[in-house]
Amino acid sequence: MHFASDNSGPVHPKVMQAMVAANEGYALPYGADALMAEVRTRIREIFEAPEAAVYLVATGTAANSLALATLCQPFQTVFCSPVAHIHEDECNAPEFYTGGAKLTLVGDSEKMTPEVLDAAIAIEESRGVHGPQRGPVSITNVTERGTVYSAAEVAALAAVAKGYGLPVHLDGARFANALVATGASPAEMTWKAGVDAVSFGGTKNGLIGVEAVIFFDPAKAWEFELRRKRGAHLFSKHRFLSAQMLAYLEDGLWLETARAANAAQARLSAGLRAVPGVAYLYPPEANTSFAAWSRAGHRRLHDAGAQYYLWESELEGDDPDEMLTARMVTDWAARDEDIDRFVELVRG
């Protein structure tokens, strides 16, 4: 019963096989490997973006920070949700990589709305040179609360950004899960909606550790390459990043693993919703959910070794009926029997 995160499970076997297969003889380093050329071609096809610049890095924080640093000047501010990973979970990496830009927190929920975004952007630069200048809008899809923006919602946010001439970044650490959830195509969810750069995640969806950064306009490609090297994120044995990404894209493996993860979450939430006293905080639209039930239920899970996060709650406490919130993430390898057992333990 491993629902703590989609970063703690196993790598898909096909990915590991591709690693082994890539380990033949000598290959050009630093991204000049033949596999990377294939990756580039495949991503351009998948995104219907023949001009796109495509790069690989090994962590999601690197993808986000380097993409933002390329889009943002140090005297600007990035607009994002107050629960955005770039704000809460990257230990100031965006501030570091941008040279000290600010993050402006938009609204008070995990999904930004066009109205609230517009108001947040409008108020900046009312101070001329004194305040930070308007910079990129960063959208996370799947959001950190497990909800999903439709392609139309992304387009509506991007339209606000474009109205101010601002670039749009999409943090797609769980991009595949969002596509599977919405049925949108990669192009519809990104450049057709007005997105300029994507962090295209793989690590949470079956890879060892690879994320692509895609710029639909290649004008800043060289700058990105320099920032990547300067950030120490250029791999000499780059073929082992390429091999992972290529296996990921092969025969739609990336969508298959995302479908499995979302389906596991759907099974989990269907089960839990049927348990009296379980309350969902957000609609579980992809592979992450937040729901509350009694401390007694959590104790049963804990004693059975279930792995998940208690959200701003403590297992310790006197009241067995107190509602405590769980954050549950399912990955591609989640097993039905574990899900069902988890539900039964909540039920008691």
**Residue 336 binds a copy of itself, judged by CB under 8 A:** no
Token look-up 């029997």 returns 337
Label residue 328 exposed, middle or buried (CB < 10 Å: 0-12, 13-18, 19+): buried
| Cβ distance to a copy of itself smaller for residue 280 or 309 | 309
Give the separation between CA 15 and CA 329, rounded to whole angstroms: 21
Which residues ranging from 89 to 108 are in contact with a copy of itself (CB under 8 A)? 89-93, 95-103, 105
Residue 170, H or E segment: strand 168-172
- Which of 30, 51, 252, 321 is the binder for a copy of itself (CB under 8 A)? 30
Which residues ranging from 116 to 135 are in contact with a copy of itself (CB under 8 A)? 126-127, 129-133
Nearest to residue 218, comparing CAs of 95, 43, 38, 30? 43
Q: How far is CA 243 from CA 29, 73, 99, in A?
A: 13, 33, 32
Tell the smallest beta-carbon distance from residue 202 to a copy of itself (Å). 11
- Which of 40, 227, 298, 327 is the binder for a copy of itself (CB under 8 A)? 227
| Cβ distance to a copy of itself smaller for residue 156 or 333 | 333
Nearest to residue 98, comparing CAs of 124, 66, 121? 66
- Which of 10, 163, 183, 283 is the binder for a copy of itself (CB under 8 A)? 10
Label residue 56 exposed, middle or buried (CB < 10 Å: 0-12, 13-18, 19+): buried
Token look-up 């933002």 returns 68
Neighbours of 341 (CB within 10 A): 16
Nearest to residue 227, comparing CAs of 74, 29, 22, 122? 74
- Which of 51, 152, 230, 348 is the binder for a copy of itself (CB under 8 A)? 230
- Which of 42, 44, 48, 59 is the binder for a copy of itself (CB under 8 A)? 59
x/- site string to a copy of itself, residues 159 to 188, per CB under 8 A? ------------------------------
**Residue 11 binds a copy of itself, judged by CB under 8 A:** yes
Tell the smallest beta-carbon distance from residue 86 to a copy of itself (Å). 11
Tell the smallest beta-carbon distance from residue 263 to a copy of itself (Å). 19
Contacts of 285 (CB under 8 A, 6+ apart): 142, 146, 147, 148, 181
| Cβ distance to a copy of itself smaller for residue 32 or 270 | 32
Which residues ranging from 273 to 292 are in contact with a copy of itself (CB under 8 A)? none
Tell the smallest beta-carbon distance from residue 75 to a copy of itself (Å). 4
- Which of 18, 27, 112, 246 is the binder for a copy of itself (CB under 8 A)? 27
Tell the smallest beta-carbon distance from residue 141 to a copy of itself (Å). 19
Residue 227, H or E segment: helix 221-230
